[in-house]
Structure 1
Amino acid sequence: MADFVLVAGAWLGSWAWDEVVPPLRAAGHGACPLTLSGLAEKRGVPAGQQTHVRDIVDEIERRDLREVVLVGHSYSGIPVGQAAERVGDRLARVVFVDSEVPVDGGSFASGWWQGRAAFEAVLADNDGYWPPLGPADLDGQGLTDEQIARLVQGSTPHPAATLTEPAVLTRSLAELPATYIKCLLDGPEPNDTVAGLLTSDHWRLVTMDTGHWPMLSQPAELARILLAEAG
């Protein structure tokens, strides 16, 4: 059976997976939702990009997990992608959920749609944090009012260094066994980097007809997909 390690994106903690974990465990798999340093109940813990990579690798090694399906959502695809190549034969598959992917020497900020300088200005204006989204920012993402409230209330400011420090890769992500889940309400096509990786025989694409936070908007369907990818 697989051991799922679930890592949510910016602002979020392990709580974001509360409705995904039970069906994974009911199917006989392990499920370990992980809060990264500096977020949620770990708010205030100093963290950079490589801290988050170590958080993931250390959790896998500490628990001696095998047949790991490593799941990264949104921002966390960047540390998850780096961790995936560092855990060796413990990895069964990596699943990127509507996420960024690491580019060697690049950061989340360097891929920002308005440019790195604009993103870094936001961080500087907020005391070195990326402020969470408000309810108006979550329109059109397939979330109910209750789900939006839960997302907003559960979010914490995201530490800047995790977003601006560069990723470190020792080989191409195209060599990893990977699945990319594209959430169509957040845009119909993966970004150019992901599109290139999807040409690899080791990668496959799955789509969901929901927004950027499927663990909240469609947790049962996300769990079904994850179980299929572990098969």
Structure 2
Amino acid sequence: MSTYVLVHGAWHTGAEFEPVAAVIRKAGHEVHTPTIKGNRPGDKKDTGLDEAIQSIVEYLAEKNLKDVVLVGHSYGGMIITGVADRAAERIRRLVYWNAFVPDNGESLNDMVPPQYVGLFDAIHAERGDGSVVLPFPIWREAFINDGDLETAQRAYDVLNPHPLKTFQDKIVLKTNPAEMQIAKSYVNCTEDTALPHGLPWHPRLSQKLGLYRLVQIPGSHELCFTNPQRLAQAFMDAGRD
């Protein structure tokens, strides 16, 4: 049996991964769903990418987790890449679920369409607390397009403001993902339009992993809400030896 650590994306906490974790636990695995610094209740919204990454490095150390299948969703791809660079000895496999794959010196903003960068900067300026929120119409149409309106609204209501600095900061890596001596997988939801299909998750970002296992399944960017059972199986397919 394996140890999975599921690292959420922007605007989320680890709690949103619990329905997925429950399915993986039922299959006999150990599963952790930590919340990244900057998204915990009461966290200041000026958190930077380095602090966010370090919070998960510290979580693995505090729990003394080893031989981990480390899963990252979306923004969580930035986090798990940084964690692998700092704590490779604890990780058996990296699993990116429609996630960003940064090389040294890249930020999340470097990998998204310019209209997103402009939108987030404008929202950030309005809010004035260091955070950015995702407008509901974008969430509804691009992020959770496989769910009905009620599901989309219920999911949106649990999201929290996200520290914009984590999107702007450029990651510092000793080793780029393609050169990391860790097994890697990429889970691609084929109906995910959180990034437009003209600027896709796969293969544009997945190919930056070098050698990797590809698992493709139907679904949106937020399959954790709309079909956690199917997503859990994809993680297990991606994480197996």
Taking structure 1 as the reference length, what is the TM-score of the superposition? 0.89
Please name the residue that 2:228 is paired with.
219
Change (3 A) 1:125 1:110: farther
Letter of the structure 2 residue corresponding to residue 218 of structure 1:
N
Q: Retained in 1: the 8 A contact 2:217–2:234?
A: no
Sequence identity, in percent? 27
Q: Note the C-alpha offset of 1:224.
A: 0.9
1:166 aligns with 2:177: no
SS for the counterpart of 1:72 is strand
Please name the residue that 1:68 is paired with.
68
Change (3 A) 1:210 1:50: same
SS for the counterpart of 1:169 is coil
Please name the residue that 1:183 is paired with.
189
Q: What are structure 2's unaligned runs of at least 5 residues?
A: none
Q: What are structure 1's unaligned runs of at least 5 residues?
A: none
* 1:130-145 correspondence to structure 2 within 5 Å: 130-134=132-136, 137-139=139-141, 141-145=145-149
* 1:5-154 correspondence to structure 2 within 5 Å: 5-44=5-44, 46-114=46-114, 118=118, 119-127=120-128, 128-134=130-136, 137-139=139-141, 141-154=145-158
Q: Note the C-alpha offset of 1:162.
A: 1.2
Whole-Å Cα distance in 1 between the matches of residues 238 and 216 of structure 2?
Answer: 13
Figure out how many residues of one structure are paired with residues of the other and give that number. 229
Q: Note the C-alpha offset of 1:146.
A: 3.4
Letter of the structure 1 residue corresponding to residue 167 of structure 2:
L
Please name the residue that 1:204 is paired with.
213
Change (3 A) 1:142 1:31: same
1:194 aligns with 2:205: yes
* More displaced 10-residue stretch of structure 1: 19-28 or 134-143: 134-143
Q: Note the C-alpha offset of 1:61.
A: 0.9
Change (3 A) 1:178 1:213: same
1:96-141 superposed Cα distances (whole Å, 9 cap, x missing partner): 1111112211211222301686243442233221113315631362
- Please report the RMSD computed on the Cα atoms of aligned residues, expressed in angstroms: 2.2
Q: Retained in 1: the 8 A contact 2:140–2:149?
A: no
* More displaced 10-residue stretch of structure 1: 127-136 or 23-32: 127-136
Change (3 A) 1:64 1:149: same
Q: Note the C-alpha offset of 1:75.
A: 1.1
Q: Retained in 2: the 8 A contact 1:11–1:40?
A: no
Whole-Å Cα distance in 1 between the matches of residues 93 and 238 of structure 2?
Answer: 8
SS for the counterpart of 2:205 is helix
* More displaced 10-residue stretch of structure 1: 176-185 or 186-195: 186-195
Whole-Å Cα distance in 1 between the matches of residues 40 and 61 of structure 2?
Answer: 22
Q: Note the C-alpha offset of 1:44.
A: 3.1
Whole-Å Cα distance in 1 between the matches of residues 206 and 148 of structure 2?
Answer: 30
Letter of the structure 1 residue corresponding to residue 18 of structure 2:
D
Displacement over 4 Å in runs of 4+: none
Q: Retained in 2: the 8 A contact 1:37–1:52?
A: yes
